[in-house]
Chains A and B, each alone.
Chain A
Amino acid sequence: MAEIKPELLQEEETIKVADLDKKIKILDGYIQKVDTFIKTTGKKVSLLKEKRSREMILSGLRGGI
Chain B
Amino acid sequence: MTECNLNAYNKAALFALKSKPQANQQPAEKAPPKTEAAPDWSKYLAQVAGSEEAGSSEFTGLPRLTHSYASAVVYTQAAVKAPAFGAASLETWKDAFTKALQQAQGSPNLLVSKYYSFKAGALRFLLSLAGVSPGELEALRRQALEDLEKQNKLLFKENARNYVLLTISGGKNKKERRIMAEIEKQLSLQAQRLGKPVSQLNLHELRLEQAQIIRENLAEQVGNLKGLKELCELYGRN
Query: How many interface residues does A have (CB within 8 Å)?
Result: 24
Mostly helix, strand, loop or mixed at chain B's interface?
helix
Minimum Cβ distance to chain B for residue A21 (Å): 7
Of A1-9, A39-47, A57-65, the segment with at least 4 beta carbons within 8 Å of chain B is A39-47
Q: How many A-B residue pairs have CB under 8 A?
A: 63
B237 touches A38 (CB 8 A): no
- Which chain B positions have C-beta within 8 A of A20? 225, 228-229, 232
21 contacts between A and B (CB under 8 A): A14-B237, A17-B229, A17-B238, A20-B228, A20-B229, A20-B232, A21-B229, A27-B222, A28-B222, A30-B169, A34-B214, A35-B215, A37-B167, A37-B168, A38-B208, A41-B204, A41-B211, A45-B201, A45-B208, A48-B201, A48-B204
Minimum Cβ distance to chain A for residue B235 (Å): 10
Q: Which of B166-202 contact A (CB under 8 A)?
A: 167-169, 200-201
Mostly helix, strand, loop or mixed at chain A's interface?
helix
Per-position binary interface string of chain A over residues 22-33, scored 1 when its CB falls under 8 Å from any chain B CB and 0 otherwise: 011001101101
Interface residues of B (CB under 8 A from A): 164, 167-169, 200-201, 204-205, 207-208, 211-212, 214-215, 218-219, 221-222, 225-226, 228-229, 232-233, 237-238
Known contacts A20-B232, A34-B214; is-contact A52 B201 (Cβ 8 Å): yes
